[in-house]
Structure 1
């Protein structure tokens, strides 16, 4: 090759290339370089080639690959990175977002339960929710409302032995403070009923007849029951302790039925009422005085659980 041609070529090209290099450097913006920190153009020597004055022939080679920064250093350049703030060391996909292998919404670098089944609700650590805190996740828990501290099996159900409820009132025997509640009577959390003693509905000695004052009170009861058609009532009759227990049992039943029949006559459906006599049991006053015995000859109302016999 003719050295003069080479020289001429370089003489023509070099000034242009140097101008480009100088312009890029002056703006301090390396627009063309394959690696960060490299200049956009490099001065190269032509081996074995010399100028007429003995100087080595040189030229400038500019690189065409643009340098694009990768701010979070995840291997995905900023112009393609859809998750530009990825923490150092987190594995990312092709668009720079943290990998979430089990698709639970918690990226692998935060996920403490990386094998969560698809569709299971998880907490911020990527672990399945356990709403009742029994150690069994919700998606496996067959008893989701287990009380705190109760030991459970693999299905999330209590391992404690079931406590008996002898009187069938819905309150277990170890809590029930009134263990012999009559069938069907509604009770509180301690297993005890809350009777409504109809003050004024008392009976003369050895009688089941309602006095006019008692009828006035029962009229009010009838109005209340008609206004609340979902309420069912047990009417309990009682006596004082004078006379035999068998006689008093029968008399108390007649007193309960007397009050029930009056309520029915005032428009209350009989299917909502039940009359039960308890004789001289459960006194509310002493039977050693005339006044106390009068209080014991009474009728009580108990709210009954709907549908109970």
Structure 2
């Protein structure tokens, strides 16, 4: 009676399969445990009164399918789970690994940029790399070495607000009018006149052609207010050297006064007469002497 009670109790706990065999069960048959820590199968023997001839009946209770644990509780058993440490609640594929829909190597539950194009290098958060930190990812950045803090356009290149070819981070004259030629720091190139303003013989009066040239010079100097100008007056070699020195000074002052009349601050201008001391052509010909009767403008910071 006690054995019958034992059989009944075990059958209640593991009721999946019952096998009875008149002959003894083989001890090396495949057996399955219902959960970790249980013996593979429950084997019971009943007393002889259950059979007319008194033969012992052996009963074996096992699970019909093997019990395989799912340690990370992701729905994929451990024997096929290729990512056994998946965090709770993370959606996985058929082999138990977290989904990575954009195939960038960062699983969706960690990916802050889930739609990264195929083949784009990403950081640990699944976002495209931005090596220069300008906000434009490397795969779109046409200027990948932008200095830190420089404002860029949608292509990752430094802004050039006035379109003068000098980027804003370098441009010291950011509002240059369109079409004006600039130097390496984005400021208008000043007009330097060398031999551009000429005078009639023994005269310090500006010709109409000289006024036109000085008008252009005044425009340039007004847009480049940090420059100072030395106005140099020159003569040919005809006449007394002292007289020519005074005449060259009058020519330089005539050009300076005209620039002032066109809005250039006189404090930026200096008039110097050199007389006949610095010819640029031969004084032996009419043409050469005409070239030597001149005013030159030289700028300096």
Same-fold status (TM-score > 0.5): no
Q: TM-score under structure 2 normalisation?
A: 0.45
- TM-score, scaled relative to structure 1: 0.44
